[in-house]
Amino acid sequence: MALLIPPTVFKQLAARPKADARRLLDRLEKIADAPEKLHPNVVPLAGEPGVFRVRQGNWRAVFSIEEDDVIVDRVTHRREVYR
């Protein structure tokens, strides 16, 4: 159960306001600790099986769960995340 953040996604996260980035990272860590549980504000994406999003304020993180590892695909503003 690990949280995997590729370098490009880590740059996206670092570019966000520090308080929002910290809260989003905390949420992702909680999800990685127990990926089989239901978590608030985590919704599966339609049309993409196994892909989820978590909401923190105006920011969204899109991730997948593979073999108990949470792999973050992107972190962007809510108006850009689904494009």
- Give the integer Cα–Cα distance in Å for 11 and 48: 24
pLDDT in tens, 42-55: 999 888 888 999 98
The confidence band for 35, taking pLDDT boundaries of 50, 70 and 90, is: confident
- Give the integer Cα–Cα distance in Å for 15 and 41: 22
Identify residue 70 by its one-letter amino acid code.
V
Domain ranges of the chain: 3-77
CA Rg value for the chain? 12
In a 3-state reduction of DSSP, which class is residue 58? Answer: coil
- Give the integer Cα–Cα distance in Å for 38 and 53: 13
Architecture in CATH for domain 3-77:
2-Layer Sandwich (3.30)
Rounded to two decimals, the pTM is: 0.87
